[in-house]
Chains A and B, each alone.
Chain A
Amino acid sequence: MLKLDGVSKVYRVGTFGGKELHAVSNVSFEVPDGEVVSLIGESGSGKTTIGRMILRLTPITSGTISFNGVDISTLQGEALKDYYRQVQGVFQDPFSSYNPIFKADRIFRIVREEFFPGMKDQEWNGKLEDSLKAVGLNPAHVLNKFPHQLSGGQLQRFLIARALLLDIQFLVADEIISMLDASTRIDVLNLLADLKESRGLSILFITHDLSLGYYISEHAVILYRGCVVEMGSTDRLYNTPLHPYTRMLMAAVPRLDKKWEKVEVELRGKQSQITTGCVYYDRCPEAERSADCLTHRPPLVQVEDDHFVACSRYME
């Protein structure tokens, strides 16, 4: 089980690092074994930063991320390598994940060199073939090719196959289908869902697309400017969104099952950093906010079974 507890990421910006940029503020949630949790947010919500912190690609400023009870920030050397045996990530841009001047299957060779240095060729080839088949690729068609000779969908499957070579239990999937062609998107999405079923893989599915989050996961976390504003079971979130941001998101997202309602959406640009009050204060409809919202950031409270929201209106 992966657990985030009060995780924050603060970047120092400005000439002498004098300003602070809160990319992620005090985020806590967990991904139980064998579950898919969607992390939903727009650009700048900090969703990618959270993924990168879980993968130890970006250091945490404060808080802890623990995997099966172990604080991952303490891992070094062999222990870190061992962590990577169990936790892997796939990113948004399939082409950028490959070194363009090498063949695509080099990513497997690196895994072999680092994790299975002693393995015999035959055993390795068998293993590789198994994981390629598990992601629905025909080894004969895809090995020994350059990245640009493969489609975006094939490249993403490659990355998933790479993760399967290890004993992975947890996968961070960061917008992995947003750059794929519409007709192949659903296949990669189905593949993830199938891996969850067949291998008990836990997945943190990071996306900006609400319908994808609904399709694949039972639980979702809604992120706005680095803060969790609402989380819970997808059914509850989608049917009875409580936070004004979630409601705005549900109303604004283009859907195929219903047309946009005449809801005014705010066009104001990104406002200055809010350090004390509610992060959504300046976009929140006047009628719903109070003076208190500007000074106190509402904590995430449980409003019903499996449904949490961070809004002062639901604090009692």
Chain B
Amino acid sequence: MSLQVENLTVYYRTLRGDVQALENATFTIADGEIMGLAGESGCGKTTLGHSLIYLKPPMRFIEGRVTLDNEELPIWDMERMNEFRFKKISIIPQYAMNAMNPTRKIGKMTAEILESRKVSYKATLPELKRRLDLVELSHDVLNMYPIELSGGMKQRMVMVLSTLLNPSLLIADEITSALDVSTQKAVAEMLVGFRDRGFVKSLMVITHDISILYQIADSIMIMYAGQLAEKASTQVIIHNPRHPYTKMLIGSLPKVGVKHSKQRLAGIPGKPPLLLNPPVGCRFRERCPVAFDKCFDVPPFIEIEPGHFVACWKEFESNA
């Protein structure tokens, strides 16, 4: 078990009260697993990803326990997390292009980061160069300033950087959304390559684009309004989802071959609730076509089949 998250609850402090962005998340990511984390904007997927590595105000840790390789992560303590960040758990941020210091040459910046983690740059250099080859970057980039690189090149540079110390878990936050389709495919496949070569043990790929996850992820976890809705293998989520939200979401995605004039797709009526004062019970209740009395209680996230977790009372009932 690479990553275990139990009851993780994280709020955002605002003037008008706490935004309940992540509620009781419990899940695991196995060694070697690429887990896609999908949902609409504001569903808490980015909060979840960031809270595992960078839980800083206005984010507020409420409760929960996170263990990585059987070691508890002190995610509520920014200082103590320094030991784990980059070495054990790493992130490729959404705006990776802007994550690099513009006044430092990339090689020098890399050296500084490594040395701050007490790792010798010289000793790492051969490995660094090998990995640059893998992402099709020339070794010259080490002598360049970030501004001399294109957006896609910077993105790949950050990918190499953040995985240089072979972390156990890598979080990729919307890294493909700003890219052209051709680059998107290359970057997504590189992530898989990193896992296959053992640069990272497991991956959490956060994106709103489910079709990307279908291509590269082993499993997909769907979130809705701060709650986990469903987690299962990619095939099951796409072809045989059980949570009504997942079903409607997947059903609303246009696919090549589907035309409006022949097959009209339906969306999900209503809109996601505000998390400042979320509805009690299942937060999808108000938009759910099969909601009933029981949905006023929060459904637990239960394994209904091996590896298939769902949080829906209706499903439990029909399964029982």
Interface residues, chain A, CB within 8 Å of chain B?
42-43, 151, 153, 181-187, 189-190, 193, 208, 210-212, 214-216, 234, 238, 248-249, 252-257, 259-260, 265-267, 269-270
Contact = CB atoms under 8 A, between A and B. Distances in A.
A266 B211 CA distance: 21
A211 B258 CA distance: 8
B40 A182 contact: yes
Kindly name the residue among B40, B208, B253 whose own CB sees the greatest number of chain A CB atoms within 10 A.
B253
Contacts, number: 117
Given A254-B214, A267-B136, A269-B153, 10 more contacts: A182-B253, A190-B265, A193-B261, A208-B181, A210-B256, A214-B259, A254-B181, A257-B256, A257-B257, A267-B183
Contacts of A184: 267-268, 271
B249 interface: yes
Interface string B111-126: 0000000000000000
Nearest to A270: B150
Contacts of A255: 211, 214, 255-256
Kindly name the residue among A153, A234, A256, A266 whose own CB sees the greatest number of chain B CB atoms within 10 A.
A256
B194 to A, nearest CB: 16
B143 interface: no
A265 B265 contact: no
B260 interface: yes
B186 interface: yes
Interface residues of B, number: 43
Contacts of B211: 254-256
Nearest to A257: B255
15 contacts: A181-B271, A185-B252, A187-B267, A190-B265, A193-B264, A214-B259, A252-B182, A253-B256, A254-B185, A254-B214, A254-B215, A256-B211, A256-B253, A265-B183, A267-B136
Interface pairs A-B: 3 shortest CB-CB: A254-B211, A183-B268, A187-B267
Interface string B180-196: 11111110110000000
A182 B260 CA distance: 17
Contacts of B254: 186, 189, 211-212, 214-215
Q: Main SS of the interface on chain A?
A: helix
Contacts of B250: 256
B79 to A, nearest CB: 36
Given A181-B41, A189-B254, A249-B181, A260 B267 contact: no
B212 interface: yes
Contacts of A259: 214-215
A238 B255 CA distance: 12
B266 to A, nearest CB: 7
A88 to B, nearest CB: 21
